[in-house]
Amino acid sequence: MSRKPPSRTALLVPFAIMALVIALHGAYWVFMSGQIRTTAETWIGEQRAAGYAVSHEGLTVSGYPFRFSLRARAPVLAAPDEAGGWSIAYERIAASAQFYNLNHWILVLGGHGELATLIGGAPARYQIEAASLRLSATGESGANTRIGAEAEELVITALEGPAPAFGRIGRLALAGILSDADVLRLRIDVSGADAGPGVLPQRIEEAFGVRAGEMRIDAELTQWSALAGAGDPLAWTRAGGGLEINQALLDWGPAQVSGSGRLSLDETLMPEGRLSVVVSNPERLAGALVMAGLVNEEQGQALRLAALMAPPRQDGIALPFRLQGGAVFLGPARLGGARPGAGEPPADEPDPI
């Protein structure tokens, strides 16, 4: 019995379905690209109504068929005086999202940028360059729940005003996640960070160098809504807000330390708190602190003695690190040139050894 050959209609059905899907996707992309552009223009209008100056030399949406990319040429955003009077300009920026997930956007900053602000009432301008620089945000119901930033070979140059704290950063990675418990979890990784020209006093530069090989912090910022809502750090502190440091690490010349603990602000908005830190080489660190003028020779000897008496850990010696009343203590030594009496432990409290 001979088999009946398939009809031509049956052969065309899969192609017809594919063509329909492509047409529907194309219509969706065109519609959503128009919505995205309208949303961007609405946001620009809202910022202008609030007193901000916003300009650009072209706004387009591209990326068909797999993503939406909102691109702006030569964008400039400037805040009014009552909001700080700062401004930032870039050669080009692009905000992109996959067509199936418009809750996750990645902002790529291309070319070089310029940040202008006021420092101590005087104008300051900085040029920003990077091999790659991008920000990301994920939100639900109009609120951001996850933020991130990545930079490679970030260079900041002072065009006017004081030098930046960091002139160059080899790599920067930041991630933040907002939990249902009103806690912002933060992780910041920095490697190859060079201090800006003249930022460090010469003695510190000679003792520690200008480059920090690695800095890392994994922490939780509690009572986040109290800080983000009003932007009042004192109200945040009174609400019980603080920084719970799960892990911190610093590799800066002779300073090779790690630790954990809790920091907050006192009523004068000075940082306070206590960390348990592990110092890889206390002898070398104490010598560098003396050389840098951060402690005197007597305090350096006290620090060495405290290290001999402190409990050893697998990767070093454990010492307390404390901030109190504007003073910084490492073991029994008070770091820096604090005012006489500033940060001295109360009479009823033992010295932080």
Q: What is the pLDDT of residues 307-321, one digit of tens each?
A: 999 888 888 999 999
What element of type H or E holds 193? strand 184-195
The answer to whether the bond into 345 is cis (omega within 30° of 0) is no
Q: Which amino acid is it at 202? A: Q
Answer for the pair 245, 261: CB distance below 8 angstroms, yes or no. Answer: yes
Tokens 């010469």 map to which residue?
Answer: 202
User: What pLDDT does residue 353 have?
Assistant: 31
Q: How many helices (H) and strands (E) does the chain have?
A: 6, 19
User: What pLDDT does residue 306 have?
Assistant: 93
Residue 193 CB coordination number (10 Å)? 21
| Cα–Cα distance measured from residue 216 to residue 258, given in angstroms and rounded to the nearest whole number | 9
Coil, strand or helix at 151:
strand
Specify whether the CB–CB gap between 352 and 320 falls below 8 A. Answer: yes
The predicted-structure confidence for 241-292, as pLDDT tens digits, reads as follows 999 999 999 999 999 999 999 999 999 999 999 999 999 999 999 999 999 9
Residue 6 pLDDT > 70: no
- Tokens representing 335 are 């770091």
Q: What is the spatial distance between Cα 115 and Cα 78, in angstroms, rounded to a whole number?
A: 10
Model confidence over 83-114: pLDDT tens digits? Answer: 889 999 999 999 999 999 999 999 999 999 99
Q: Which contacts qualify for 225-228: CB closer than 8 Å, 24 or more apart?
A: 225/182
Decide if 316 contacts 281 (C-beta within 8 A).
Answer: yes
Contact of 134 with 149, CB cutoff 8 Å: yes
Cβ atoms of 319 and 277 closer than 8 Å: yes
* Predicted confidence band of residue 2 (pLDDT cuts 50, 70, 90): low
Residue 82 is classified by DSSP as G
In angstroms, rounded to a whole number, what is the distance separating the alpha carbons of residues 74 and 2? Answer: 71
Q: What are phi and psi of 165, to 5 degrees?
A: -60, -40
CB 78 within 8 A of CB 53: yes
77, 52 in Cβ contact below 8 A? Answer: yes
Distance CA 172, CA 99 (A): 28
| Residue 347: per-residue pLDDT | 37
Q: Which amino acid is at 103?
A: N
